[in-house]
Structure 1
Amino acid sequence: MQNIQRFLLKQLKDQSTVYLFVLILFIMGVIFGAIIVNSMSITQKEDLYYYLNLFFGQVSDGKLASSFEMFKQSFFHNTKYVGLMWLLGISIIGLPIIFIMLFLKGMVVGFTVGFLVNQMKWGGFLLSFVSVLPQNLLLIPVFLIMSASAISFSFKLIRQLFVKKFHDQPFRMFAGYAVTFSCLIAVILLAAMLEAYVSPILMRGTIDFIYK
């Protein structure tokens, strides 16, 4: 575990400029998601809030899918998302798609939190805290690290192909890139466990507190 921490800290130090860029891009996505909430019509908000209340009713009654099913869905969804970013980094031409994917992740987070707070005020803030925050404390760094690593790897490949003075070893480059992906999969596993086994319990208690 300490080796993984040292490796990730070294990655962060070596790619600080790229990390700053992806962080700003993600924050822009969050802000854009919140703006979308404010631009929705009253009818759209009411329709969405109606379905949200149905979901809250299912959570309160314990009618959600089994924790194991939720775990599988969360783990495979996020693994495929990060895996696609990883492959796009190898392709070089996939750089713009990485930017879009990271921006969309930020937008989803911003929209989710923004809508809950907009419709339910302090209750929405509490729900955001227990339903969105736990797993995203792990997942957001995963997406930021994967995006930065994919961008950096693409730039290294470009320099390897077109700049004669750049002589980094391809195998070492790819090995470091693969190790980063493997470490992030382990973090996604923990995040999926939180989302499947912890968040529903916290949500159920919060919903009961708000509505009862």
Structure 2
Amino acid sequence: MIVLLKLNFLGKHVKDNLAIYIVVSLSFLIGISIGAFTVNELNIHQEKDLISYLRGFFRFLGNSGANNFDVFKQSFVDNTQMMLLIYFLGISVIGAPLILIILLLEGFTLGFTIGFLAKELSGFGILISVFSVLPHAIITVVVLTTASIFALNFTIGIVQKKRNKSKNYKFLNQLLTYSFIQAGLTCILVIASIIEAFISPVFMMLILRFMN
């Protein structure tokens, strides 16, 4: 029963905000496409610098490795800051379009990372992407896109209220609901940070052993 209610709510939310879902999804997908395309546009010097950095990172990981708790803390701080930025941009109304730019940049980063790994390391690059990059990235992307959808929805609600001068729009109630949803989504990012800090490095080490 609870599952059905949640599915009904999700279906209604998608139907009522279909345009937002499409715009948000397109922003992210365009970012991924640009990121992947940019890999092929790197000049020789840029490519060599990135390869050198990548090899240095692999050596560091193979010799001593990063402190898992430090990685977790940094990952969660970065994710939380991103969520707060989206949250306040949604409230600000005027800054809401910047949310789409954030998603485009997130997509660009993911597309470039996977594209570069696949190009330079071939099969091993794909393995690293699948087992060490995508597991936490997928959760992060889903949370950020969902947060962006609710942020834009909140912004549109404010604009419509001012335009129509609706007395039925209860700003405080909407703000509390919006804040609760964004806080809940931020908590989910703990899972992404745990995977990035404690699970992804294990797979990375296994793949590096096969590479060597």
Q: What's the offset of the Cα at 1:26?
A: 0.1
CA distance in 2, matches of 1:127, 1:156: 42
Deviations along 1:99-149, whole A, 9 cap, x unmatched?
A: 111110000000100110111111111111122111012111011101111
Instruction: Tell me the secondary structure at the aligned position of residue 178 of structure 1.
Output: helix
CA distance in 1, matches of 2:66, 2:124: 24
CA distance in 2, matches of 1:80, 1:119: 32
Deviations along 1:182-204, whole A, 9 cap, x unmatched?
A: 11111111110110010111101
CA distance in 2, matches of 1:148, 1:29: 17
Amino acid at match of 1:121: S
Q: Which consecutive unaligned segments of at least 5 residues does structure 2 have?
A: none
Amino acid at match of 1:69: D
Asked if residue 147 in structure 1 is aligned to residue 130 in structure 2, the reply is no
Asked if residue 69 in structure 1 is aligned to residue 70 in structure 2, the reply is yes
Q: Which moved more, 1:148-157 or 1:162-171?
A: 162-171
Scaled by the length of structure 1, the TM-score of the pair is 0.91
Match for residue 207 of structure 1?
208
User: Do the aligned partners of residues 166 and 18 (structure 1) sit closer, same or farther apart at CA in structure 2, a change above 3 Å counting?
Assistant: farther
Scaled by the length of structure 2, the TM-score of the pair is 0.91
CA distance in 1, matches of 2:184, 2:101: 23
Amino acid at match of 2:56: L
Match for residue 59 of structure 1?
61
Instruction: Tell me the secondary structure at the aligned position of residue 39 of structure 1.
Output: coil
Q: What's the offset of the Cα at 1:11?
A: 4.2
CA root-mean-square deviation: 1.9
User: Counterparts of 1:40-189 in structure 2 under 5 Å?
Assistant: 40-61=42-63, 63-165=64-166, 167-189=168-190
Contact persistence 1:88–1:94 (CA under 8 A): yes
CA distance in 2, matches of 1:14, 1:189: 29
Asked if residue 195 in structure 1 is aligned to residue 196 in structure 2, the reply is yes
CA distance in 2, matches of 1:195, 1:68: 11
CA distance in 2, matches of 1:207, 1:65: 15
Instruction: Tell me the secondary structure at the aligned position of residue 103 of structure 1.
Output: helix
Q: Which consecutive unaligned segments of at least 5 residues does structure 1 have?
A: none
Q: What's the offset of the Cα at 1:160?
A: 1.2
CA distance in 2, matches of 1:100, 1:21: 11
CA distance in 1, matches of 2:30, 2:93: 24
Aligned residue among 19, 39, 42 for 2:41: 39
Amino acid at match of 1:207: L
CA distance in 2, matches of 1:56, 1:209: 13
Deviations along 1:157-197, whole A, 9 cap, x unmatched?
A: 11111213473221221122112111111111111011001
